[in-house]
Amino acid sequence: LIYDFVSPNAYLVWQPLKEIAARQQASIKITPAFLGGMHKLTGNAPPFIRDADVKGKNDYARLEMQRFIVKHKRLRFKMNPKFPFNSITLLRMLVSLSDGEQVRFIDAVAPALWEDALDVTDTVALEAVLTKAGFDAASLADKAQDPAIKQAVIDNTDHAVARGCFGIPTFFIGQEMFFGKERLGQIEEMLASG
């Protein structure tokens, strides 16, 4: 899973993806990558900007999002008032963690962003979310400044683009790429077929 917290679709797909992985006895490898950097490298743009002049397209995208929210019971979702926010510090924290800790980190931070309107620039509020989830917030903040950690996020982003990624969420099963929350059915079919 190529992941960035700034993508509302990454939040929406996270829980259903975990459910698919559990049903199919599959594991999720999380690769934190910076969506802003990915857009710059690929010439892509957020759909609400890219499609702003296409009559009806953003309205339809909102309809599809609402259908997904209802289908997958992500009913607490609401757009973060600071969207699009800068997620780079969160990605650096995420990349510094082990696989199991990464899952816990997303489980704590993503709902805070997309259900409770966490402002990522509010360090006190972020620290409270991390502490409540059992993380050492000060240690994570320090790690986020480590040049090697910063480079790891850059490398992840570059590597994702080299594999064909242009947006978030993107999934790989082996070499097969799937983009967007709408591909969950295809992902489960491929996992089920072995």
Residue 183 DSSP code: G
C-alpha separations of 130 from 12, 109, 115, 146, 183 in Å? 20, 7, 16, 19, 31
Among candidates 96, 75, 84, which has minimal Cα distance to 156?
96
Q: Which pLDDT score is estimated for 184?
A: 96
Phi/psi region, residue 107 (left: phi>0; alpha: psi -120 to 50; beta: rest), is: alpha
Q: Which pLDDT score is estimated for 47?
A: 83
Q: What is the pLDDT along the chain (194 residues), one digit of tens a residue?
A: 999 999 999 999 999 999 999 999 999 999 999 999 999 999 998 888 888 899 999 899 999 999 999 999 999 999 999 999 999 999 999 999 998 899 999 999 999 999 999 999 999 999 999 999 999 999 999 999 999 999 999 999 999 999 999 999 999 999 999 999 999 999 999 999 98
Q: Which two tokens stand for residue 146?
A: 């480590």
Q: Which pLDDT score is estimated for 119?
A: 97
| Torsion from C-alpha of 40, 85, 115, 1, nearest 10 degrees | 30
Residue 85 DSSP code: P
Whether the CB-CB separation of 58 and 47 falls below 8 Å is answered with yes
- Phi and psi (nearest 5°) for 32? -70, 125
Amino acid making up residue 170: T
Q: Which pLDDT score is estimated for 50?
A: 86
Whether the CB-CB separation of 17 and 28 falls below 8 Å is answered with yes
Q: Which pLDDT score is estimated for 46?
A: 83
